[in-house]
Structure 1
Amino acid sequence: MKNLKMTLGMILGTAVFLTSCDDDDKDATPSMVSVYTTNNSDGNINIYISGSSMTMTTLTTSSTAADGAYFDGTSVYQVSRSKNSIEGFAVTADASLGGVLDVSASLTSTSDMTSPRELAVNGDMYVVADNADADGNADTKDGRLFVYQKSGNNFTLRNTITTDIKLWGITFIGNDLYAVVDTENKLAVYTNFLSNMSSTSLSASKTVAIEGLVRTHGLTYDSMTGTMVLTDIAAASDPENDGGIHIINDFMSKFNGVASGGTIALSDQIRISGSNTKLGNPVDVAYDGQAGVLYIAEAGNGGGRILAFSNIGSGGNLTPSMNQSLAAASSVYLYKK
């Protein structure tokens, strides 16, 4: 535990310094950087918080496997794969003290899903990507997006969208929902996604390929820097060293400049990959654009890890600036205050 705290404290502490200090604001109070992780090993939530000091807290939940995570400032949410629902847990001041806390869900959705993965939030709307076969035909590529509305301490399933692509990672950019095309190297967008109020089938508004990427899983968008980051698990059968990260700066310009069905060239990206990276099956990513720090949920290498990369400008075969074991790591979410 001591080594974990020291290593994680250094990387999160660096992020805090870089995001809170500049030439015109030397006396600013450091930001609090929190990293929330879930896993498919024990279903617990690990929280790493850095402010004036760094602490690690484990929230012990009744789930045994979980995926997408989100924190709204007062509660942390995870998608329970063992319960096929969204769970929300009120985070009290105790979470900043470190150690292990037993928690009970303060709100849950109904158990509607089959194989839930990533969670994307837009206001009071919570969208979960489900990668189970939607039509019972393994030869067709499809998935479902479950749209929940949060009101007070309740989740209500508003509608379900059936897609003609396999799903995993999703994220909102404004009102548009971006989704990775699982088993492929493609990225899709559903424009004005939440305007689809009824349960229906829906095709993507646009789909582009990402050159150099084999099989994408996780994605995140940093609005401050205009950067999209996607993870590449490559061959799922090789969990150790064949994965990578693709960074696309000035993303909207590059995405809009390619016709649907076209390709974003590798020359318009930065790729991190190689034996030093510990990237085998990176399934999720969070990006602190101000600090230039990437956080990765690595599901395969060494049985699972949480990684961070802090010198990403040129990409390549980088050594992680933080490397900690987390069995079957499944998602990572960054919150700054």
Structure 2
Amino acid sequence: MKSIKFLAMAAIVSFGMVSCSDDDDNGGEIPSEDLRVELYASSNTDGNVTKYDMSDMSNTTSEMFVTLSTDSEGLYYDDDTNELTLSSRAPLQLNTYANIDAATDGVTLNATISSSPVLLSPRDLAVNDDIYVVSDNADVDGDTTTNDGRLFVFVKGDNGFTLRNTVTVDFAVWGIEFVGNNLYAVVDKTNQLAVFTNFSASNTTDATVAASKTITVEGIVRTHGIGYDDGTMILTDIGDAAVDNDGGFHIITDFDSKFSGVADGGTLAVSDQVRVAGSNTFLGNPISAEFDSDTNTVFIAERANGGGRVLAFTNADAGGNIAPSVNNTLSGASSLYFYSE
């Protein structure tokens, strides 16, 4: 996913899970008409944002918002300010859009604040308070045979974004996720996961930094997407990037304890995970993930299969070759952010 979620109210439990039950009294709908359960998705194809109303998983609806971007990857919704921030690959900057709950289908969103166009190849956005971190997979040293990447650290203020510093790492980056003050980052082109403890406070100047800890996640070929909520981590597996039906995702419950139990350089056993993959899943290159613990739902942005899809899997704990509960086509689907109240 990839940032701090504002998930509340036990009533939400009813929304996704019950939608799959034929004998449910309310047909999978949340009792309150005013309750917002939304999934935001960005696109590499046109840079626009699609908002899905997920309050009834058996009958999702969507609205599309036009942005000044033509290619986007990485987004975050702040319910305190009712603002959506998008990481744009063209132009190469962060843009924040206001009054999102009043936006209507087809409207053009105008950025209220923006960063300078300093990004090179943004892939994900993680937020912790006023710190906005963008993972960027552009080559750093000019040598394509070496793996490296950047983490651009912005501070969001009333007048815009200030680039505080840039952290260079010795691996290609993609998905990132704050868990508390720790920043988790997938190690692209591998099946590894890294963490930078107390990231924002410990990395305040331009520097080349080693991860605090890196582990191998057994069973994954090449990871990209990452999502976390209430102790459960989701990691996606794109397999062969040139193949559109060999992807999957892993569910790691009790993640904090399991990750702590693996030494730096060690391996998290596949027996400590649940894998979802196969021909029924529509997973080829799943590049972004979100998780809602209240409804036990995994959301996936699938980039390759069918040209792009937004998928939702409810009760995927058993793993295997399962079909998604929601399967919406979205050209160039690139990143997700889930919000509920």
TM-score by length of 1: 0.89
Contact 1:180-1:186 at 8 Å conserved across structures: yes
Residue 153 (structure 1) shift? 3.5
**Is 1:235 the counterpart of 2:206 in the alignment?**
no
Q: 1:168 aligns to what SS in structure 2?
A: strand
Unaligned runs of 5+ in 2: 1-12, 20-29
What amino acid is the match of 2:83? S
Give the number of equivalent residue pairs: 314
- Match for residue 15 of structure 1? 16
The whole-number CA distance in structure 2 between the counterparts of 1:200 and 1:316 is 42
| Partner residue, 1:255 | 259
Which amino acid letter does the alignment assign opposite residue 285 of structure 1? A
Residue 38 of structure 2: aligned partner: 34
Give the drift of 1:141. Answer: 1.0
> CA separation of 1:309/1:60 partners in 2, compared to 1, >3 Å: closer, same or farther?
same
Q: What is the SS of the residue equivalent to 2:256?
A: helix
2:130 is aligned to 124
Amino acid at match of 1:257: G
Q: CA deviation at 1:227?
A: 0.3
Residue 47 (1) aligns with residue 51 (2): yes
Structure 1 position 65 matched with structure 2 position 66: no
Which of 217, 239, 242 pairs up with 2:224?
217
Going from structure 1 to structure 2, the CA distance change for 1:93 and 1:173 (only over 3 Å counts) comes to closer
- Corresponding residue number in structure 1 for 2:156: 150
Answer whether contact 1:57 1:101 (CA < 8 A) is retained.
no
Counterpart secondary structure, 2:318 = coil
The superposition leaves residues 76-95 of structure 1 with CA deviations (integer Å, 9 ceiling, x where unpaired) of 11110011111111134433
Q: Letter of the aligned partner of 2:212 in structure 1? A: S
* Residue aligned with 2:321, SS: coil
Residue type of the alignment partner of 1:319: A
Q: Which amino acid aligns with 1:336?
A: S
| Cα offset, 1:165, TM superposition | 1.0
2:207 pairs with 1:200: yes
How has the CA–CA distance of structure 1 residues 51 and 328 changed in structure 2, closer, same or farther, with 3 Å as cutoff?
closer
Counterpart of 2:116? 110
Deviation (angstroms), 1:260:
0.6
Higher relative contact order (CA 8 A, sep 6+): 2
- Find the aligned partners of 2:189 and 2:52 in 1 and give their Cα distance: 31
Residue 119 of structure 1 contacts residue 129 of structure 1 at CA under 8 Å; is this kept in 2?
Answer: yes
Alignment identity in percent? Answer: 48
Give the letter for the 2:334 counterpart. S
SS of aligned partner of 1:14: helix
Q: Give how far 1:49 is off.
A: 2.7
Aligned partner of residue 208 in structure 2, secondary structure: strand
AA at the equivalent of 1:174? G
Counterparts of 1:330 and 1:91, CA distance in 2: 23
| One of 246, 250, 262 as aligned partner of 2:250 | 246
Tell me which amino acid in the other structure corresponds to 2:131.
Answer: M
| 1:106 counterpart SS class | strand
Secondary structure of 2:107's match?
Answer: strand
Distance, in Å, in 2 between the alignment partners of 1:106 and 1:43 is 17
Q: Extract unaligned runs of 5+ from structure 1.
A: 1-11, 19-26
1:283 to 287, 297, 321: 287
Alpha-carbon distance, 1:163 to partner: 0.3
Return the alpha-carbon distance in structure 2 between the equivalents of residues 152 and 268 of structure 1.
44
Task: Give the corresponding residue for 1:81.
Answer: 89
Match of 2:4 in 1: none
1:160-193 deviation per Cα after TM superposition (whole angstroms, max 9, x unaligned): 0000111000001111100000000000000111
CA distance in 1, matches of 2:40, 2:180: 23
Using the TM superposition, give the Cα deviation of residue 48 of structure 1 relative to its aligned residue in structure 2, in angstroms: 1.4
- Cα distance in 2 for residues equivalent to 1:16 and 1:38: 25
- One-letter identity of the residue aligned with 2:97: F
Aligned twin of 2:27: none
